[in-house]
A and B are shown apart, each in its own frame.
Chain A
Amino acid sequence: MTVTAGIDAGSSAVKAVVLEKDGETFSVRSHVVARIRKRDVGRVVRETFDAACESAGVADLHYVATTGEGEETPFATGHFFGMTTHARGALYLEPRARAVLDLGALHARAMAVDPSGRVLNSKMTSQCASGSGQFLENIARYLGVSLSEVGGLSLSAGRGENVSSICAVLAETDVINMVSRGVPTAEILRGIHESMAGRLARLLQTLAVSGLVFVTGGLAADDGLVGALERTLASGAAPGAAPVPVRHPLSAFAGAIGAAIWGEYRYRKLGQEGYSWTSSATA
């Protein structure tokens, strides 16, 4: 039995998992997420990792893999590129997926993948945070709504306010103007979701993907956004031919899970023996 950890340091949150491989089957022993909120990233990485180990009840690991911005983590065994870890993690959670859409705090990234998890092609949003996770978080704050309420409110709206692409920072004025015109909060959020979905659909279209698109990252939990994306993708294609977004309760952990799986692979390929990390050695 091999036990590995994966740590995905994003720009707004750190995700950590502990995975166990028994025979050919991986299982997730623990998963922990913590928001960074202007704290020192190295410290948040360490705390999240410790919490994942504690919750899994493990003190020794064969490999500690990092991905995302966790490259400088001193106690890690190795680091993996974000694209490959998200692809691998996505296929673990949904083996039928042929594309991955990673919705992070600052960037959105679309990848076409083959059944073995190899990235065939990829495309990322440009140098602007409009439509990103941080953008949605700003909008929610301007509206006085918590992020967990955003999805439900958006779904409750009968229509979406038409929102052209707006700057994540100047959006405050746009939102105030909409509120002062009397547009209900739910309709503003639905409009924002539709505008974000349009941008994501165009990103996927440039890769010409079809079939199941597995959504990863923090925004995967936003029912309103995923619903809007599903509608947008369906409206631009023949019935049955449209790509369909799917997700998993552990979608936000796809990068960390992928890192832990790659860690196990490297551990096996290098023929290493024993543990890379034990809590007693560093305590």
Chain B
Amino acid sequence: MAKAVRTFVGIDLGSTTTKAVVLDENGDVLGRGITNSRSNYDLAAEVARTEAFVSARFSLLRAGVERAAGTAALARLLRAFRLEQRLVQWARLRQWIEATAPRAAPAALQPALAATLETLFGRLVAEEEEHFLEPEAPERSDFFRDAAGSAYARLAQEIADPRGVTHDLLVGLYDHSIISVENEPLDLGFPNHIRAALARCGDAPGMAEAAEAAANADLEVAGSVGTGYGRARLPFPKEQIRSEILCHGLGAHAMFPATRTVLDIGGQDTKAIQVDGDGLVTSFQMNDRCAAGCGRYLGYIADEMNMGLHELGPLALQSRTPVRINSTCTVFAGAELRERLSLGERREDILAGLHRAVILRAMSLIARSGGIENEFTFTGGVARNPAAVLALRNLVDENYGERRLNISADSIYTGALGAALFAWRAAA
């Protein structure tokens, strides 16, 4: 057995997603994991941590597999591994549904229901296998609940019988069972599934050895720190809990060391943070009592327009004459949106105005926290919205002059990274 590798874990338990980051002894990122938050906070943290260690072990085997079989083989191995995890989840979901079925439908319908479930799960598993074989498969949600929910609902619609096993019955069984699947510990870790994944990939010479070494690597957790909205309920001692503000400041500093100002626009709160040259927070301002200026504002607008949240930004970018939104409150902005649409104003122009309104609220938090003197980092879900980024760039230019604006593709892990760094620093 190889010598133990000391690792440090940070967990960010957010209101919508839970993130985990694993660092190695040098404080470098070894793995990242994410899952949807759920009512069982301990389990959400455990799932994110497991995912982060899966990602860490894939980091360990990367060089070996790439050397033995090439980059494509590594991607294929990862897809095979995901498939094995999904098959465990589907099998468990099926068990829960079959256990619920006798109470959900009359006895006369049971044979037809059993046959329908057999067909349904047969096709769902077949779809998973096809997805694995298709390297160019379209992106889908990483979260079992979301990806499984849409696949299940689609197939249920197709094979339901309005006079027998109805769509309502099938979807009702799913809704009832998915909560059980989500709130029980499933073994989705690396050592249990990597061998099956290897078998699916064929045995390129050297690959098995690399995988075996990664599976056997002794990753010892030398320290953990928790943060986020639900941090008070994490099963950690108090000295291993840090505020979101501290973790976001340190995480942003680690990603972009010259950062002095951090703006985080999450689903339910917005923070403007000033940090020093070591990533320590010197001042901050936060809004968590009002949806205006948070990601939820744009979510509400997307609902009002019957659009997907990710469609808003690209449409707003098409605007040439943005309107000026007068309402602050999210609900009032929704009413203003409807009024403007009924007056015939263009959707893209109204949306551009709404994006500017969200960023304007953030600008006032930034100003109150001390402004932007130097390099500036934007994190949180809204940082993925191109129209919000554009509005921020313009407003920062207008108010502070030209400043370097950093946005990382991994910005969702900023808080978890900061937490992991606190754990690492404590041990150093």
Q: Mark B280-323, 1 if CB is under 8 A from A, else 0.
A: 00000000111100101100100010000000000000000000
A269 within 8 A of B: no
A106 within 8 A of B: yes
- Highest count of chain B CB atoms <10 Å: which of A11, A166, A169: A169
Q: For the complex, what is the distance from the CA of A40 to the CA of B329, rounded to whole Å?
A: 22
**Contact indicator B331/A169 (Cβ below 8 Å):** yes
Return chain A residues, CB-CB under 8 Å to B290.
Answer: 128, 167, 170
Q: For the complex, what is the distance from the CA of A169 to the CA of B288, rounded to whole Å?
A: 12
Q: For the complex, what is the distance from the CA of A106 to the CA of B296, rounded to whole Å?
A: 19
State how many angstroms separate the Cβ of B168 from the closest Cβ of chain A.
17
**Contact indicator A169/B330 (Cβ below 8 Å):** yes
A67 within 8 A of B: no
Q: Please judge, given known A-B contacts A40-B342, A106-B335, A132-B331, whether A173 and B15 are in contact too, CB under 8 Å.
A: yes
Q: Please judge, given known A-B contacts A40-B342, A173-B268, whether A129 and B329 are in contact too, CB under 8 Å.
A: yes
B408 within 8 A of A: no
**Closest B residue by C-beta to A138:** B331
Total chain A interface residues with beta-carbon distance under 8 A:
20
A41 within 8 A of B: yes
Chain A interface mostly helix, strand, loop or mixed? loop
Interchain residue pairs with CB less than 8 A apart (29) = A38-B304, A38-B338, A40-B342, A41-B342, A106-B332, A106-B335, A127-B327, A127-B328, A127-B332, A128-B290, A128-B328, A128-B329, A129-B329, A132-B331, A166-B289, A167-B289, A167-B290, A168-B329, A168-B331, A169-B296, A169-B297, A169-B300, A169-B330, A169-B331, A170-B268, A170-B288, A170-B289, A173-B15, A180-B39
Total chain B interface residues with beta-carbon distance under 8 A:
22
Q: For the complex, what is the distance from the CA of A38 to the CA of B303, rounded to whole Å?
A: 11
> Given A170-B294, A180-B39, list of 6 further CB < 8 A pairs?
A38-B338, A127-B332, A129-B332, A167-B289, A170-B296, A173-B15
**Contact indicator B329/A127 (Cβ below 8 Å):** yes
Q: For the complex, what is the distance from the CA of A135 to the CA of B334, rounded to whole Å?
A: 13
**Contact indicator B291/A167 (Cβ below 8 Å):** yes
- Highest count of chain B CB atoms <10 Å: which of A38, A42, A128, A167: A167
**Contact indicator A170/B342 (Cβ below 8 Å):** no
Q: For the complex, what is the distance from the CA of A134 to the CA of B333, rounded to whole Å?
A: 13
Q: Mark A146-172, 1 if CB is under 8 A from B, else 0.
A: 000000000000000000001111100
Q: Please judge, given known A-B contacts A169-B296, A169-B300, A173-B268, whether A134 and B327 are in contact too, CB under 8 Å.
A: no
Q: For the complex, what is the distance from the CA of A180 to the CA of B330, rounded to whole Å?
A: 26
Q: For the complex, what is the distance from the CA of A262 to the CA of B339, rounded to whole Å?
A: 26
State how many angstroms separate the Cβ of A234 from the closest Cβ of chain B.
30
**Contact indicator B328/A129 (Cβ below 8 Å):** no
State how many angstroms separate the Cβ of A100 from the closest Cβ of chain B.
22
State how many angstroms separate the Cβ of A3 from the closest Cβ of chain B.
30
Q: Mark B179-223, 1 if CB is under 8 A from A, else 0.
A: 000000000000000000000000000000000000000000000
Q: Mark B392-411, 1 if CB is under 8 A from A, else 0.
A: 00000000000000000000
Return chain B residues, CB-CB under 8 Å to A127.
Answer: 327-329, 332
Q: For the complex, what is the distance from the CA of A40 to the CA of B288, rounded to whole Å?
A: 34
Q: Mark A120-144, 1 if CB is under 8 A from B, else 0.
A: 0000000111001011000000000
State how many angstroms separate the Cβ of A36 from the closest Cβ of chain B.
9
In chain B, positions 332-347 with a C-beta closer than 8 Å to chain A are 332, 335, 338-339, 342
**Contact indicator A106/B331 (Cβ below 8 Å):** yes
Return chain A residues, CB-CB under 8 Å to B300.
Answer: 169
Return chain A residues, CB-CB under 8 Å to B328.
Answer: 127-128
Q: For the complex, what is the distance from the CA of A242 to the CA of B39, rounded to whole Å?
A: 45
**Closest A residue by C-beta to B294:** A170
Q: For the complex, what is the distance from the CA of A132 to the CA of B268, rounded to whole Å?
A: 21
**Contact indicator A11/B335 (Cβ below 8 Å):** yes
